[in-house]
Amino acid sequence: MTPDSATIVALATAPAAGAVGILRLSGPAALEVARRLAPGVPPSPTPRHAYLASFVDAVGAVLDEGLFLYFQAPRSFTGEDVVELHAHGSPRLLRLLLARALEDERVRPAFPGEFTRRAFLHGRIDLTRAEAVADLVAADSEAAVRAAAAGLSGALAERIRSLETPLRELHADLEGVLNFPDEAEGADAEAGPRVASLRSVAEALRAEVGRGRLVRQGARVALYGPVNAGKSTLFNRLVGEARALVDDEPGTTRDALEARVEWDGLGVTLYDTAGLREAPGRVEALGIARTRELLSAVDLAVLVLPPGTSREEAASWMRDAGATPVLAVTGKCDVLPGARAEQGSVGDGAGALPIGAGALPIGAGALPINDAASGGRSATLPSPAPPRVSGLTGEGVDALRTSVLARLWGGGTPSAVVLVSERHADALRRTAEALGRAEEASRVSTLEVLSGEVGLALEALGEVSGTSVSDALLDTLFQRFCIGK
């Protein structure tokens, strides 16, 4: 796999008006072609030096004045000669400069991600860093930005290297014993424990894919529960603006509303859903059906219960979430105490958590489990009772936000996560499976089988680092990049 010899060109900034627009060229003819657009630049410009230059058309008429930067191979992003023209950000001007560069037959338009692909093929970055470039461009939360930046700095590459290097050494030892038994005698003595240790490292990395998805795509959290529980008011409070229509009439919310927020750097999409109740109207029933469908797709469901809800009723609402994790709270804590004085209700004062103590996640404390997740066991409520919140006054809302993040994330900081993608997880799964077979082979089979399985593990892991990767896989990876990157 080697890059072709063509010089490529593309706009490296968005095709919209702005203060600055950048035209980027990479390849053997980059400097010569760029100097045709900026003839005032010396024939052998100083690398990494910004020249103030006039950009001209084919007849020498000045189109703009800007900066000319030359990065000499191999000390450039792509490993090739690279030139950037920094002009004013007029889309029409930039298209004129792009067309001028393409007049040279040695130049063609860059494909999506081709600059980064050439950097990978020239050994300037490994595949994990290349993917981190796309993650950084696509990042839409602080956690995603910081995690992608860590990946670009080599955080994931280092983790992969710490697995790949000893795995390669183990494979070399095994092959040495097979091919040179006298010279390499004893090199396979600890093969079983070495394989087991490497397998646990692969499984630990694979386990981080869930967190990586939360950082990349953001978390999805739905507020749900019976009608008139205060869901829409709480939704508005959490979002910070009046997005949902609020009224005392039951069934006001007919369809799911969504809003994007960022909590402690993690992107969260909140959903306000139609209230659940028996015998709704036809249109309201459609909204309830959508609520149940949405609950199956979110990462966390927040069950908002009205004051005075009995434990039996609350357990029934919990089962509506299916297998989705649930966090229960009692809404409308601003309602007078007499409104929730019913004996045995989840919102009565006895046993209720104080406001600000934080909502109890379902699954911590008394385990509220639904039929789908528990093989038919009845749902139970947390004890003490769910904490109370008020979307109207804001009481308990900060604690709820903290509890939601804790339920989604657990410990640690979202921005510190290693961005293990689904693609990485699949390769790590195959790595771990091959190492599992190798561990078994170390006990009951031949050295040839053991070495073969270790080789398969190494090949699968190479799909993450890029040491063993096909052109087809590279095509798939770099298609998600923007043109010019």
- Annotated binding residue at 32? no
Helix axis angle, 127-138 relative to 114-121, nearest 10°?
Answer: 160
Tell me the C-alpha to C-alpha distance, in Å, between residue 146 and each of 77, 272, 382, 423. 21, 29, 36, 20
- Annotated binding residue at 273? yes
- Annotated binding residue at 252? yes
- Annotated binding residue at 459? no
266 in Cβ contact with 141 (< 8 Å): yes
- Beta bridge pairs of residue 220: 269
What's at 210, amino acid-wise?
G
- Annotated binding residue at 7? no
- Annotated binding residue at 272? yes
Output the six-digit token pair for 1: 């796999």
Residues 6+ apart with CB under 8 A from 137: 481, 482, 485
Output the six-digit token pair for 400: 């709820």
- Annotated binding residue at 332? no
- Annotated binding residue at 84? yes
Rounded distance, CA 261 to CA 268, Å? 5
331 in Cβ contact with 395 (< 8 Å): no
387 in Cβ contact with 355 (< 8 Å): yes
- Annotated binding residue at 274? yes
- Annotated binding residue at 250? yes
- Annotated binding residue at 393? no
- Annotated binding residue at 374? no
- Annotated binding residue at 485? yes
Q: Is the peptide bond before 74 cis (omega within 30 degrees of 0)?
A: yes
- Annotated binding residue at 484? no
- Annotated binding residue at 371? no
Tell me the C-alpha to C-alpha distance, in Å, between residue 109 and each of 13, 17, 56. 15, 21, 20
**Angle formed at CA 37 by CA 31 and CA 41, multiple of 5 degrees:** 60
- Annotated binding residue at 40? no
Compute the CA torsion angle 311, 313, 316, 321 (nearest 10 deg). Answer: -90
Binding site for Mg(2+), residues?
232, 253
Binding site for GTP, residues?
228-233, 247-253, 272-275
Binding site, residues?
24, 84, 124, 228-233, 247-253, 272-275, 485
Binding site for (6S)-5-formyl-5,6,7,8-tetrahydrofolate, residues?
24, 84, 124, 485
